[in-house]
Amino acid sequence: MRISIGGEQVEVHDDLARALLAALRGERLVEPPEASAFDDLTALVACISRVTQHLNMVKELAMSRADASDSYSNRRALGQAAAMAPSQLGRVLEGHGLPRDRRAGGVDLAVAFRTTDDGVLHLAAEEDVAGLPSFTLPCDPAQTVVEPTGFAGRELEFYYRPQVPIAVADLGRTAGYTLRPEQGPIACLTEQVFDKLFGDPRIDPTRPNGR
């Protein structure tokens, strides 16, 4: 079945197209797939898995952006929209660098970085990062980045301000994207750091060190 979204036509498995339409309409009745052959059903399952994984990540990014949009965002309403218990919601948001308890903490905010091979500091002056904690991490952007920024494959030292209140951090469109060293903080990014590193914003949010 061919469906059209925003003027672009995409070929979709018939059963998946019907399921998507029913979901978008808010229909509660779930119709079983019409396919009966093993290969057809296996292909349907694989396609649904890809769609589900992508939508779940978009959902998490939307949740993170909603939570970071206001220092007093309504997490109860957010949890209801996400169909998540408060504990599960807290784990998801914490995985995206946001505090479980908004009253007790903020976010570790990466504000600048240094390329370790040449020692050049980017997005700040030396006096601005003096005394700030830091961590090192190789730059590994996703393959979907359209224009490489020249940092791919290079080791970077990131400077961050610890526990910046969400209202001050002003994460904006970078809410939900984080840097994750193996040992260290889960650091959120300013929009300036994000753009300097990745250029095109369409990066793969599933990568462990560049969400």
Task: Give the pLDDT means over successive 10-residue stretches in the chain (211 positions).
Answer: 83 91 91 94 95 93 91 89 95 92 85 96 97 91 55 92 92 90 90 85 49 43
The pLDDT of residue 63 is: 95
The pLDDT of residue 204 is: 52
> Minimal CA–CA distance to 73: which of 57, 55, 85, 89?
89
- pTM value? 0.80
The pLDDT of residue 32 is: 93
Look at the chain and count its residues: 211
The pLDDT of residue 73 is: 81
DSSP 30: P
The pLDDT of residue 147 is: 56
CA torsion sign for 130, 105, 155, 57 is negative
The pLDDT of residue 75 is: 92
The pLDDT of residue 200 is: 58
The pLDDT of residue 141 is: 58
DSSP 136: E
The pLDDT of residue 201 is: 57
CB-based contact 173:129 (threshold 8 Å): no
CB-based contact 22:15 (threshold 8 Å): no
